[in-house]
Structure 1
Amino acid sequence: MRNCHQRFSKPLLIIIVIFLLMGGCAVVGPDYLPPDICTPDSWQADFGGAEDVTAPDPSRLESWWANLHDPILSDLIDQALDQSLDFKQAVSRVREARARRGVSDADGFPILDLSADGTWSRSGTQAVRQSFGGAFDAGWELDLFGGVHRAKEATLADLQAEVANLADVMVSLTAEIGLNYIDMRTYQSRLAVAKANLATQQETYELIQGRYAVGLSNELALQQARYNLESTRSRIPSLVTGGAAALNRLTVLTGKPPGTLNALLTQPHPIPTAPITIAVGIPAEALQRRPDIRKAERDLAAQTARIGVAEAERYPKIRLSGSIGLEAGKLADLLDGSALFWNHGPRISWNIFDAGAIRNTIKVQEALQEQALIAYETTVLEALEDVENAMTAFAQEQLRRMRLMRAVQSAQIAEKLSRDKLSAGLINFSDVLDVQRTLLSFQDQLAESDGSVTANLIRLYKALGGGWSPSMLDKGASTP
């Protein structure tokens, strides 16, 4: 039978009061302070005058694809944010972190259990004995040294880190959609260049073939025209393959099986044109916006709190518990006043010897905190590197594109002049061959550069933390 009554002794009450007073001001473990990271006052890259050091417009960064004025690209990104498996997985991790936060919050409250039982027993020849009962049991562990408090801090930081990770997934996903879309359009543009040159070279081959038939050209010129034609034709399969791979990747990124978007995307479309200048702001602003840095900082905060959780294991624990219920040998006697029982009292436990297990657990958590700090510092440095590289690539590719445009213009004039002179019999075909090869090379490089300029702009938007907004996070992370 349970004890019917249990009173606190005066010494025990004094001990509890002392512990409560200690617990009121003793939250063990280090308090978290965000790391102080020095950043440069300005960017070091030579942006060639294409930069705007004013702070970027948040709306232009959040939906950077709108700056490219391509409705198909905008639609693909909307589809990806609804259907992408990577995005759905990140949303699920936010839900998990939110649920873990709820579990941690519950640890600070009393626990109340309801139980009921009935038993029948017999020993040897004795009569069957029966017993019936029901009770409410309550328990509450006092958070004297802040272990529960630190655990709540850790799970809150974990939740905030997963929300930042969701934003980072958005940044990566929108950039990957954009880059693969530009890649696909670039292959289409290069394919169009190859086919246009193929048509021109086919005309030249037929011209040489006709001249050869009447004895006005030799076989060497005929074979040169043929291998020039076949060389250009051989480019086409690899361009088709590259374009198909980009299209399939784009389709999978939107959460659909390959082939689903073929009808929409196989029709050639111009490469979206990048703006000449972009607002980049200063390094500190870019670092504040990047979600990967925010995640690394929240991971550090969570790990700092876990040191306090480990520290709290070094100190005593007090658990207050009590029960009230009914217990009787017959079911009908449960309503009798004598069936009532209750008890209450504290339980104090203190791990006074564990062969150094707690001390080493604290060291483990401190080492993990050090690693989290290093990871944060690394993320900051890599973010600065990303922006510097993207700025340089964007500016220099614009310069390269401008020069290729001039080269193409000159090569087109030279190619027309060479064919005219060939028709008049003023030059050999080898001169035409060189000009046509050069024109094809320059046009192909220009098509590649058109795509690279826009792709490098997308990488710059990504490096600056573009591609997510609080409203986009609310749409995903608030889903139950």
Structure 2
Amino acid sequence: MSIIFDKHPPDRNYERSILYGLLTLTLSLSGCMVGPDYQAPKGTSSVQISSIIYPGVRFEQTDLSHWWDIFNDPQLSSLIRLGEQNNFDIKMALARVKEARASLGIESSGLYPEIDADGAVTWAKESENVNPLATSEETKYAFSADASWEIDLFGRIRRSIEAATAEYQASWEDHNDVLISIRAEIAVNYFSMRTLQAQLETTKKNITSQQDMLHLTEVRYKNGIATYLDVAQATRELASTEAELPLLRIALQKNITALSVLTGQPSDILRQEFSTVRPIPVPPAELTVGIPAERIRQRPDVKLAERKIAAQTARIGVATADLYPSFSLVGSLGLASLDAGNFFNSASTVYGIGPSLHWNIFNMDRIRQNIAVQDARTEQALYSYELTMLNAIKEVEDSLSGFHEQRLRLEALNHSVQASKETVSMSIKLYKDGLTPFQDVLDAQRSLLNSESNQDAARGDAAVQLVSLYKALAGGWTTQPERHSELPQ
């Protein structure tokens, strides 16, 4: 429904009084917004972490934005920088931020009038059979500017802006979460690659040792000191160990190609760069990992889930506003003339202005059902937030326990390797002296290979567990500014 005052109203004072009344009503109700105001969930203030104390791990304030520096590995730092620059998951996350920012701009534009302009020149002639006096063509010149301004009396537009603002902030948290994940994934693949390289070197070293033993058995067999069974057993053990090399090289190749995808670097370049075998990076004995409860609250996935609640809460207000009428001020101003010469004269002026009312009176049930839908979605967002918090706590506790247990395992394996080396040395000496069967030598060598391979894996797993801990504690991320300067005002 709309009321338009034409160029010649019967009473200009009456017209002005209505317009002034509408403006006064608009200003007085401009602060009214239907729907619930957002309140942060209670879970943001209380995070309970296991009170278990882990030796060598201090829970104190510290900067984890560059946690990979503790490994003192330039190649790892270089890979992470390449990932930040070239990774397509990060680029897509940043594109989603741009999309959310543009969507916020679209919603914010609803606070301002919409203005359209039209112009036309038409040539027309009526049918002489309809109007015998229509003997000549008629030229009409017209131009008009039409404006419409929705008065946000009940906050529908402002609630939409509120939801879009929360979605924009959530998109930044999504970007931060992707950034943390990519950095951690690069580190995990790098440590896995170094672990596989170490296992390859260990296997090759054991192959050399087994080749020496095969040569020894062959010499002893030729001299009649040993049976051919010793030669066959040594040959079998050597072939079995050599069969491990292709599997390790396959896994190594997969790690290099995974790093290629993560960093955007050709695999040939990475393969050449990592051709020199280096030790698995070992973290220091004493670590400071921050205060878990505070770090969890700063996790981007937790903040993203919280922003989703805020956005969905605002959408309840958007839906609720449909229960009420919407008011707009509409108007037009233009020129119209049959003669181009007097087109710009005051007599050519046409205009109209007045209020417009729209109210979905007969759709109330549908609107209420939509409000119920938005309520349910808000409830789901709240549950999703609480689940995200629980998973965050779980990840921190699992990573702390895993890192501690991997350290203990590595310490035990170090003793195992040392004992296995002594066993191999003693069994070979006894075999040469004829005091023990060759099977004891094979068992000792096999045990040493397994112990050294497990030792290499444990070193890599300890580093990977520490990466998981830093990821769980939102390491590799710094607090993003609120970016108010980028938000439409």
Superposition TM-score, scaled by structure 2 size: 0.91
1:464 is displaced (CA, Å) by 0.3
Query: Following superposition of structure 1 onto structure 2, how do residues 32-47 of structure 1 map, counting pairs within 5 Å?
Result: 32-37=38-43, 39-45=46-52, 47=54
C-alpha separation in 2, matches of 1:360 and 1:199: 76
Q: What residue is the counterpart of 1:20 in the other structure?
A: 26
Instruction: Tell me the number of residue pairs that the alignment of Structure 1 and Structure 2 aligns.
Output: 471
SS at match of 2:441: helix
1:221 is displaced (CA, Å) by 1.1
Query: Following superposition of structure 1 onto structure 2, how do residues 78-477 of structure 1 map, counting pairs within 5 Å?
Result: 78-125=81-128, 126=134, 127-354=136-363, 356-470=365-479
Name the amino acid aligned to 1:94.
V
* Structure 1: segments with no counterpart, 5+ residues: none
Deviation by residue 1:187-214 (Cα, 9 ceiling, x = unmatched): 0000110000000010001100111112
Q: What residue is the counterpart of 2:131 in the other structure?
A: none
- C-alpha change, 1:79 and 1:472, in structure 2 (3 Å) is farther
C-alpha separation in 1, matches of 2:364 and 2:266: 57
1:367 is displaced (CA, Å) by 0.9
1:191–1:239 Cα contact (<8 Å) kept: yes
Deviation by residue 1:332-376 (Cα, 9 ceiling, x = unmatched): 220222111222111111111116111111111111111111110
Q: What residue is the counterpart of 1:53 in the other structure?
A: 59
Q: CA RMSD in A?
A: 2.2
1:19 is displaced (CA, Å) by 4.6
C-alpha separation in 2, matches of 1:5 and 1:417: 117
1:22 is displaced (CA, Å) by 6.1
C-alpha separation in 1, matches of 2:266 and 2:320: 51
Deviation by residue 1:229-279 (Cα, 9 ceiling, x = unmatched): 111111111101111101110111012344342111232121111122332
1:160–1:298 Cα contact (<8 Å) kept: yes
Superposition TM-score, scaled by structure 1 size: 0.93
1:290–1:464 Cα contact (<8 Å) kept: yes
Deviation by residue 1:75-100 (Cα, 9 ceiling, x = unmatched): 01001100100010001011111111
1:16 is displaced (CA, Å) by 3.1
- C-alpha change, 1:473 and 1:219, in structure 2 (3 Å) is farther
C-alpha separation in 1, matches of 2:461 and 2:305: 31
- C-alpha change, 1:341 and 1:10, in structure 2 (3 Å) is closer
1:21 is displaced (CA, Å) by 6.2
C-alpha separation in 1, matches of 2:438 and 2:254: 38
C-alpha separation in 1, matches of 2:300 and 2:364: 42
SS at match of 1:356: helix
C-alpha separation in 1, matches of 2:276 and 2:256: 12
Select between 32-41 and 82-91 the one with higher mean Cα deviation.
Answer: 32-41
2:30–2:152 Cα contact (<8 Å) kept: no
C-alpha separation in 1, matches of 2:8 and 2:211: 106
SS at match of 1:343: strand
Select between 210-219 and 200-209 the one with higher mean Cα deviation.
Answer: 210-219
Name the amino acid aligned to 1:52.
R
2:292–2:473 Cα contact (<8 Å) kept: no
SS at match of 1:62: coil
1:42 is displaced (CA, Å) by 4.1
Name the amino acid aligned to 1:387.
V
Name the amino acid aligned to 1:242.
A
